[in-house]
Amino acid sequence: MDEQDKLLKHMIIEHKMVIADVKLVADFQRYILYWRKRFTEQPITDFCSVIRINSTAPLEEQDNYFLLCDVLPEDRLLREELQKQRLKEILEQQQQERNDNHFHGICMFCNEEFFGNRSVLLNHMAREHAFNIGLPDNIVNCNEFLCTLQKKLDNLQCLYCEKTFRDKNTLKDHMRKKQHRRINPKNREYDRFYVINYLELGKSWEEVQLEDDRELLDHQEDDWSDWEEHPDSAVCLFCEKQAETIEKLCVHMEDAHEFDLLKIKSELGLNFYQQVKLVNFIRRQIHQCRCYGCHVKFKSKAELRTHMEEAKHTSLLPERKMWDQPEYYFPTYENDTLLCTLSDSESDLTAQEQNGNITIISEDISKLHALKQSSILNQLLLHESLKN
């Protein structure tokens, strides 16, 4: 990062060159090398916006600065491609760590040694010391993460408030009494250790969550006295229409938006996970107010919907390689009921099992006890025992 700052400073002073939103560039070195090559092929003014300062001053005192940003389609595509490549690398690294059974680590609080998988140590610290940095499957570059935390403790620094203490015992008492056995969520240094921060270009997990919270607050009502429970409804991909079954929702999308999900599934031969990725891809594009048919971005979802319906772009799907990507295993919206209604045919499942191409995504078992207590199996077993 120090070298990057020096380079940016040099470019501004010596070449009057400014790169917008540098923090959103997933691979700064590859980004710089790409544009270094392009600037040898064409004039810089073909790519950069020219900003003139001191425009009212005499001509010899005026100066031009060059702004390189993602308003340029080529720059935007480069940033997105670097983001995809970084996500691919991160997912591969995470998978390697999940399968690694040669991990060796020492607990930061009791110095007990652990061998095998990283989850053994992380679960021990969460269970025995109430120090929870997240589910092991959500973490990447775990060794570096643990070394970073250990270094802070060795420097007698609290992991949460980041104050420094005079000795180890004082630090331990402080973290125990103040319940500071957790990391500081505002410290951006930790973002690179969580997979969720690599999913969407330019957004951290807090920003994505904040968007969802704002959406909930906009629709929140003060009076809950007449609240009644309703079955979960699936939401249309293009508007706010909801339906209790996928059949009703597909009829709506076909009639209102000329988008036939069942026909697309049949024609493209999509299995369950491919359907999930397609739905998540469309959700992401609509959320970003971007038409997936022509890649034009709009100011609002209403303008986007009008454009897509008039241009017949709802049914104009891009090439499979655009949406059939690992990043679209992850939903755009939490608890997207539409994903739960997707299904495979029996023939699809049989063929996939024979080919061994089924991708398995682990479930969150952190609330296993609560799941057992609320399971419908308890009611079925009780009903059966009463019958007997």
Condensed to tens digits (0 to 9), the pLDDT of residues 156-187 reads 999 999 999 999 999 988 988 888 888 988 88
Q: What pLDDT score does 348 carry?
A: 45
d(CA 10, CA 4): 10
Domain end position, chosen among 60, 76, 92? 76
Q: Is residue 223 one of the residues assigned to a domain?
A: no
Q: Are residues 27 and 112 in the same domain?
A: no
Q: Is residue 221 one of the residues assigned to a domain?
A: no
- Identify which has the larger pLDDT, 126 or 233: 126
- What mean pLDDT is predicted for residues 228-233? 61
Q: What angle do CA 302, 209, 148 make, to 5 degrees?
A: 145
Q: Is residue 131 one of the residues assigned to a domain?
A: yes
Q: Are residues 208 and 104 in the same domain?
A: yes
Q: What pLDDT score does 120 carry?
A: 92
- 188 exposure class (CB count in 10 Å sphere: 0-12, 13-18, 19+): exposed
Domain end position, chosen among 41, 76, 111? 76
Q: What pLDDT score does 351 carry?
A: 44
- What mean pLDDT is predicted for residues 61-75? 89
Q: Are residues 201 and 270 in the same domain?
A: no
- Read off the pLDDT band of 77 (50, 70, 90): very high
Indicate whether 227 pLDDT > 70. Answer: no
Would you say how long the chain is, in residues?
388
E strands within the chain? 17-19, 49-53, 63-68, 103-106, 113-116, 234-235, 242-243
- Identify which has the larger pLDDT, 355 or 7: 7
Amino acid letter, residue 172: K
Q: What are phi and psi of 234, to 5 degrees?
A: -85, 140
Element (H, E) at 172: helix 168-177
Q: Are residues 116 and 151 in the same domain?
A: yes
Which tokens sit at 293? Answer: 């048919």
Domain end position, chosen among 340, 358, 379? 340
Write the pLDDT tens digit of every residue in 285-325: 998 899 998 888 998 888 998 898 888 888 888 888 888 88
* β-pair partners for 67: 18, 49
Residues spanned by the domain of 208: 100-212
Q: What pLDDT score does 221 carry?
A: 52
| Mean confidence (pLDDT) of the chain | 82
- What mean pLDDT is predicted for residues 31-53? 93
Amino acid letter, residue 151: K
Q: What angle do CA 325, 202, 326 make, to 5 degrees?
A: 10
Q: Are residues 336 and 260 in the same domain?
A: yes
d(CA 127, CA 63): 62
Q: Is residue 347 one of the residues assigned to a domain?
A: no
Q: 186 in helix, strand or coil?
A: coil
- Read off the pLDDT band of 32 (50, 70, 90): very high
Which tokens sit at 325? Answer: 């990507």
Q: Are residues 191 and 265 in the same domain?
A: no
Q: What pLDDT score does 24 carry?
A: 83
Q: Is residue 202 one of the residues assigned to a domain?
A: yes
Q: Are residues 183 and 240 in the same domain?
A: no
Cα atoms found within 13 Å of the Cα of residue 211, Cβ hemisphere only? 10
Q: Are residues 52 and 153 in the same domain?
A: no
E strands within 198-339? 234-235, 242-243
Indicate whether 139 pLDDT > 70. Answer: yes
Amino acid letter, residue 157: Q
Q: Is residue 87 one of the residues assigned to a domain?
A: no
Q: 243 in helix, strand or coil?
A: strand
Q: How many domains does the chain have?
A: 3
Q: Specify the pTM.
A: 0.48
Q: Is residue 387 one of the residues assigned to a domain?
A: no
Q: Are residues 331 and 257 in the same domain?
A: yes
- 156 exposure class (CB count in 10 Å sphere: 0-12, 13-18, 19+): middle
Q: In terms of DSSP bridges, do strands 113-116 and 103-106 run parallel, antiparallel, or are they unpaired? A: antiparallel
From residue 213, how far is each of 72, 148, 216, 218, 236 by CA, in Å?
32, 31, 5, 9, 20
Q: Is residue 314 one of the residues assigned to a domain?
A: yes
- Three-state secondary structure along 61-106? HCEEEEEECCCCHHHHHHHHHHHHHHHHHHHHHHHHHHHCCCEEEE
d(CA 140, CA 54): 48
